[in-house]
């Protein structure tokens, strides 16, 4: 008996020893990351920052001796490399080292989609094992700023901007920068993206329109008529009732097909904040206009115009219907001709599509909704000695040297070189301008005034005009009468409703958004499918407010009040 107890004790002791051995290692190694946030290190960093500020500020100055800067980076599904090149070794890394004296290194890279990047990043952030600089989303940015894991960029940002980058970051009146500002401190450089590229428009199969002798859609009534005819009058002429009216997918809100445009036609603006009559911000989700749009969708579903199984079909599944010639009407974003329409055209060369501006339910023209476009931010780890290096990297991204070098900024042979860069941010009207130049050149049949990259686009579209359908989709996006002509029209007529809230996510948003989205999806899907009466919308409004919507509205208005000042 005695010996048994002794042995158990020995075993327990061994384990305890093992545990302490491990934790000993922990302290030893943890010293490294925690030093980064210790006050002395911060003071040193601040000291060096102010010291370098006293030196002549050169926004594109070279570090001598060169500095090392580590990154985490997403290598997305479409990124390719030339023979012998890699993310660590390419024209961009060479440029960074030669021009700026910054040796870019990668602590880690993730292949796949943003979701996978953030999975990896979140683990790294939680274990405080982050690279010197990396890309984050709004939620992670708020978390990092609160935890003091990232460097304040206020002292260096404005000082180091070149005129070109200044124009880029202040083009929207500073809203993008405000979204990256916490307690008056700029904690990140936003990835400037377009607020117009994700607006929605109505897409119609015009060969079906002609066949059924229907007018082009100008009002919502035209839309209902087209939807009904496409569903009931056998537009594909195969004698079977196998076509749908309006395309809807299980998310309801999507790039293809999305219902945003349909709701906008009713002057309802889902998933964003709009000012009400009293000047306060309210959630578009709970406005009475939503109810009218939902009632109509319910009616259309009942009449068999919407796929009975939309509730389980994702974007790719709805795309199948379109490609197979079963769907001829949907609301979607400007890029949808590239996918899935192009695949449909490949199978059936007679397929013709056209984009129309959103029709309205009444005399007032419909405005398309535009969500706040900044989804990504670039940050610098707390304690990194040269926070201005990130600003320099952002500067060189927009420098003439890069813009004039196709091997840096553009793409060739299906390799998009600009994706190798460690920062990003493009002129929000880049695509719109490309459309303007391309369609003018196409109409005039004169490509002489185009830049090399626009010329490449021009040549590609010429293939379609010469009878090869391979670039049909590009023609529908950038050519005359294309999707961007609609966006151009939206801008001229001021028919875009911008999200009125663009601050960092409020506490209630971080906590409740997921639950509220689920509530909305369930309630709306049930109403559209007729499983719940239209009055279920009122219950949804009550639940929305109760489950955090009210708190969100309060926080959003607190933010809104501060913006006026």
Partner 1 sequence: MQHIAPSRKAFLVANYAFLCLLAVSCVLPLVYVLAMSFSSSSAAAGGLVTLWPVGFTTKSYEYILEKPAFSQAFLVTLERVALGTAVNMFLSILTAYPLSKESTQFKPRTFYAWVFVFTILFSGGLIPWYVTIQWTGINDTIWALILPGAVPVFNIILLLNFFRKLPRELEESAFIDGAGHWTTLIRIFVPLSMPAMATIMLLTIVTHWNSWFDGLILMNKPEHYPLSTYLQTIMTQMNLTTLTAEQMEDLANVSDRTAKAAQLFLGALPILLVYPFLQRFFVTGIVMGSVKE
Angle of helix 430-444 versus helix 452-465 axis, rounded to 10 = 50
Candidate list 50, 127, 238, 542; residue touching partner 1; CB under 8 A? 127
Q: What are phi and psi of 498, to 5 degrees?
A: -90, 150
The answer to whether the peptide bond before residue 340 is cis (omega within 30 degrees of 0) is yes
Using rule CB under 8 A, residue 78 touches partner 1: yes
Candidate list 118, 224, 256, 397; residue touching partner 1; CB under 8 A? 256
Residue 416 beta carbon to partner 1: minimum distance, rounded to whole angstroms: 6
Taking the C-alpha atoms of residue 540 and residue 528, their distance in angstroms, rounded to an integer, is 14
Binding mask 360-389 for partner 1 (x = CB under 8 A): -----------x-x-x--------------
Residue 243 beta carbon to partner 1: minimum distance, rounded to whole angstroms: 14
Candidate list 93, 193, 305, 370; residue touching partner 1; CB under 8 A? 193
Residue 65 beta carbon to partner 1: minimum distance, rounded to whole angstroms: 26
Candidate list 91, 251, 496, 521; residue touching partner 1; CB under 8 A? 251
Using rule CB under 8 A, residue 15 touches partner 1: yes
Taking the C-alpha atoms of residue 221 and residue 217, their distance in angstroms, rounded to an integer, is 8
Q: Which helix (H) or strand (E) holds 228?
A: helix 220-232
Measured from the CB atom, the residue of 217 and 344 that comes closer to partner 1 is: 344
Of 502, 562, 559, nearest to 193 (Cα)? 502
Which of 275-283, 289-297, 398-406, 410-418 is the region at the interface with partner 1 (rule: CB under 8 A)? 410-418
* Maximum alpha-carbon separation in the chain: 101
* DSSP 8-state code for residue 139: H
Which of 51-59, 209-217, 333-341, 380-388 is the region at the interface with partner 1 (rule: CB under 8 A)? 333-341
Using rule CB under 8 A, residue 416 touches partner 1: yes
Report 473-502 residues binding partner 1 (CB under 8 A): 477
Report 28-57 residues binding partner 1 (CB under 8 A): 29
Q: Is 237 left (phi over 0), alpha (psi -120 to 50) or beta?
A: left
Taking the C-alpha atoms of residue 440 and residue 72, their distance in angstroms, rounded to an integer, is 41
Do the strands 201-205 and 353-356 form a parallel or antiparallel pair, or are they unpaired?
Answer: antiparallel
Using rule CB under 8 A, residue 89 touches partner 1: no
Report 302-331 residues binding partner 1 (CB under 8 A): 314-317, 319-321, 323-324
Candidate list 99, 120, 166, 455; residue touching partner 1; CB under 8 A? 120
Cβ atoms of residues 144 and 150 within 8 Å:
yes
Residue 34 beta carbon to partner 1: minimum distance, rounded to whole angstroms: 13
Measured from the CB atom, the residue of 193 and 305 that comes closer to partner 1 is: 193
Cβ atoms of residues 488 and 432 within 8 Å:
yes
Using rule CB under 8 A, residue 170 touches partner 1: no
Rounded (10°) CA dihedral 252, 254, 256, 261: 70
How far are the Cα atoms of 233, 284, 328, 387, 524 from residue 325, in angstroms, in the given order? 14, 34, 7, 54, 27
Rounded (10°) CA dihedral 489, 493, 494, 496: -50
DSSP string, 313-344: --HHHHHHHHHTT-B-EEEE-TTTIIIIIHHH
Taking the C-alpha atoms of residue 274 and residue 262, their distance in angstroms, rounded to an integer, is 17
Which of 23-31, 40-48, 506-514, 532-540 is the region at the interface with partner 1 (rule: CB under 8 A)? 23-31
Using rule CB under 8 A, residue 347 touches partner 1: yes
Measured from the CB atom, the residue of 85 and 107 that comes closer to partner 1 is: 107
Taking the C-alpha atoms of residue 197 and residue 432, their distance in angstroms, rounded to an integer, is 8
β-bridge mates for residue 104, sequence order: 69
Taking the C-alpha atoms of residue 475 and residue 469, their distance in angstroms, rounded to an integer, is 10
Cβ atoms of residues 14 and 351 within 8 Å:
no
Which of 121-129, 207-215, 355-363, 501-509 is the region at the interface with partner 1 (rule: CB under 8 A)? 121-129
Residue 126 beta carbon to partner 1: minimum distance, rounded to whole angstroms: 5
Report 429-458 residues binding partner 1 (CB under 8 A): 430-431
Candidate list 101, 166, 232, 253; residue touching partner 1; CB under 8 A? 253
Calculate Rg over the CA atoms of the chain: 27
Measured from the CB atom, the residue of 316 and 465 that comes closer to partner 1 is: 316
Using rule CB under 8 A, residue 226 touches partner 1: no
Candidate list 101, 103, 108, 212; residue touching partner 1; CB under 8 A? 108
Measured from the CB atom, the residue of 299 and 343 that comes closer to partner 1 is: 343
Residue 135 beta carbon to partner 1: minimum distance, rounded to whole angstroms: 13
Candidate list 247, 261, 344, 387; residue touching partner 1; CB under 8 A? 344
Candidate list 48, 116, 489, 542; residue touching partner 1; CB under 8 A? 116
Residue 72 beta carbon to partner 1: minimum distance, rounded to whole angstroms: 9
> Site size for partner 1, by CB under 8 A?
72
Report 195-214 residues binding partner 1 (CB under 8 A): 197-198
């Amino acid at each position: 008996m005695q010996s048994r107890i002794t042995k158990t004790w020995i075993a327990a002791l061994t384990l305890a020893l093992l545990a302490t051995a491990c934790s000993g290692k922990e302290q030893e190694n943890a010293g490294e990351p925690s030093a980064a946030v210790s006050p002395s290190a911060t003071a040193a960093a601040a000291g060096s920052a102010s010291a370098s500020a006293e030196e002549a500020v050169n926004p594109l100055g070279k570090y001598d001796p060169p500095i090392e800067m580590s990154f985490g980076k997403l290598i997305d599904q479409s990124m390719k490399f030339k023979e012998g090149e890699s993310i660590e070794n390419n024209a961009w890394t060479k440029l960074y080292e030669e021009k700026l004296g910054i040796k870019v290194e990668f602590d880690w890279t993730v292949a796949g989609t943003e979701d996978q990047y953030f999975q990896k990043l979140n683990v790294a952030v939680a274990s405080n094992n982050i690279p010197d600089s990396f890309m984050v989303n709004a939620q992670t940015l708020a978390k990092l700023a609160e935890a003091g894991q990232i460097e304040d960029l206020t002292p260096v940002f404005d000082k180091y901007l070149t005129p070109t980058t200044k124009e880029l970051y202040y083009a929207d009146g500073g809203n993008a920068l405000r979204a990256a500002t916490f307690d008056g401190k700029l904690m990140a450089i936003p990835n400037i993206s377009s607020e117009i590229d994700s607006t929605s428009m109505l897409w119609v199969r015009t060969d079906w329109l002609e066949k059924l002798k229907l007018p082009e859609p100008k009002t919502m009534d035209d839309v209902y008529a087209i939807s009904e005819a496409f569903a009931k009058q056998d537009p594909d002429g195969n004698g079977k009732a196998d076509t749908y009216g309006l395309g809807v997918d299980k998310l309801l809100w999507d790039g293809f097909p999305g219902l945003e445009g349909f709701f906008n036609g009713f002057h309802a603006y889902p998933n964003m904040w709009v000012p009400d009559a009293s000047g306060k911000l309210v959630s578009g989700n709970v406005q009475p206009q939503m109810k009218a749009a939902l009632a109509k969708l319910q009616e259309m579903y009942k009449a068999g115009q919407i796929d009975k199984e939309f509730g389980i079909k994702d974007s790719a599944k709805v795309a199948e219907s379109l490609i197979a010639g079963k769907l001829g009407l949907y609301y979607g974003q400007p890029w949808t001709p590239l996918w899935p329409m192009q695949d449909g055209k490949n199978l059936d060369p007679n397929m013709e599509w056209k984009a129309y501006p959103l029709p309205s339910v009444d005399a007032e023209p419909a405005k398309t909704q535009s969500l706040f476009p900044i989804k990504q931010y670039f940050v610098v780890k707390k304690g990194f000695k040269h926070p201005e290096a990130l600003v320099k990297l952002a500067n060189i991204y927009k420098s003439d040297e890069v813009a004039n070098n196709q091997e840096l900024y553009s793409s060739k042979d299906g390799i998009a070189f600009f994706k190798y860069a460690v920062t990003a941010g493009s002129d929000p009207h880049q695509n719109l301008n490309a459309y303007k130049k391309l369609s003018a050149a196409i109409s005039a049949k004169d490509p002489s005034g185009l830049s090399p990259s626009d010329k490449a686009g021009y040549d590609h579209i010429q293939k379609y005009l010469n009878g090869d359908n391979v670039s049909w989709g590009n023609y529908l996006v950038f050519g005359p009468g294309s999707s961007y002509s609609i966006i151009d029209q939206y801008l001229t007529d001021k028919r875009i409703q911008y999200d009125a809230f663009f601050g960092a996510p409020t506490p209630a948003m971080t906590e409740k958004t997921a639950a509220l989205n689920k509530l909305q999806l369930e309630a709306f899907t049930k109403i559209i499918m007729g499983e719940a009466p239209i009055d279920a919308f009122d219950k949804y409004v009550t639940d929305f407010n109760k489950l955090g919507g009210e708190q969100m509205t309060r926080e959003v208005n607190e933010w809104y009040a501060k913006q006026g000042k």
